[in-house]
Copies of this chain bind each other. A is one copy, B any other.
């Protein structure tokens, strides 16, 4: 089976072919020149290894791009038949499962409702059954998967333990490896959902080819990711980039994390929906809230603008501390585009140390809305396997 030959190259050796396979798995379709940059291998070594991989059916030439003058550029990708990866989002009341091939095509992506406060064992049973059925529908067995990535709404320790602060409170302290390790019959990777979102944007979205950026996700909660030199920074115990818990007012509202005045207590959509309900007297979903704001609801627009002003203050802090070249703005509030983004950037400029107006054009931080505002997390869980990151079992 092709996947049996691909697997050891993805996970193992320092052979040139293995380095090339891992670079392609992370980057998707790529040129020999890009492989040279990514692996540091000599051109001649790359040519030879590509020829061997092509002869073994592990890679394919998918396209020739004409660059105007001179010879057209060859693009190489892993053979889509050679391996598939799955991603799973452990949501509040849904489990979402996506399957991709190693050429980065999404083969399936669907959501399965599950009762709130589900246990790890419940989740594992649902995932094992549904993933098997997805794989069979796609014409292969679950055991052929190169791996399953799990996206969790909590900081995850390097060993795969869920740390405090999860949106799934019953999961605090759960050892993901012992729950999922033996039941999914393939390697398991796991990471915080915002880190997964950053991987998705690196692989398919707003941060392709960007080795350094910061992602911040404004949704019901607020999370983030820091990417340095192509790698997601997880920090000492896995809790880096928890921007939603930056303390802006030490005497502010009590946050679910136990601190006071966190960004999330002021600009998280949960708080905006609460403020809306306090005045209107009826509940509104995040989707409706956003749609009505886009259509012109004055009060909802005001709540989003004020959240953007506070969010921009926080981006200003992050800019002063990290000075990244790119901010990717993700999450539901980003779906309102200019309404949220303009005020956010304006407030960033007000509060950060280096003002764009005083910098040469090439040195100004850029802002991009994430490409995947609805499914970045589950795609990022797939990308954990493609990038061979955060393996726990």
Contact = CB atoms under 8 A, between A and B. Distances in A.
A365 B240 CA distance: 12
Interface stretch (A89-97, A288-296, A313-321): A313-321
B228 A354 contact: no
Contacts of A258: 355
B165 A240 contact: no
A115 interface: no
Contact of A322 (B165, B233, B257, B316): B233
Interface in A97-118: none
Interface stretch (A80-88, A183-191, A241-249, A369-377): A241-249
A237 interface: yes
Interface residues of A, number: 45
A250 B313 contact: yes
Contacts of A257: 353
Interface string A59-79: 000000000000000000000
Contacts of A353: 165, 239, 242, 245, 257, 259
Interface string A303-337: 00000000001001110111111000000000000
Nearest to A214: B321
A163 B323 CA distance: 13
Contacts of A359: 237
A252 B360 CA distance: 29
Contacts of A247: 313, 316-317, 320, 351
Oligomeric state, in copies: 2
Given A228-B228, A246-B317, A317-B317, A354 B237 contact: yes
A235 B325 CA distance: 8
Nearest to A245: B353
A368 interface: no
Contacts of A323: 234-240, 242
A155 B323 CA distance: 11
Interface in A12-58: none
Interface in A185-243: 212, 226, 228, 233-243
Contacts of A351: 247, 250, 259
Given A236-B212, A363-B236, A322 B242 contact: no
Contacts of A390: none
A358 interface: yes
30 contacts: A155-B354, A157-B363, A164-B358, A212-B236, A228-B228, A233-B322, A234-B323, A235-B323, A236-B323, A237-B354, A237-B363, A238-B323, A239-B323, A240-B322, A240-B323, A242-B321, A243-B320, A243-B321, A245-B320, A246-B317, A247-B313, A247-B316, A247-B351, A259-B350, A259-B351, A317-B317, A317-B321, A318-B321, A321-B321, A321-B322
Interface of A: 155, 157, 163-165, 212, 226, 228, 233-243, 245-247, 250, 257-259, 313, 316-318, 320-325, 350-351, 353-355, 358-359, 363, 365
Given A165-B353, A236-B325, 5 more contacts: A164-B358, A234-B323, A243-B320, A257-B353, A321-B321
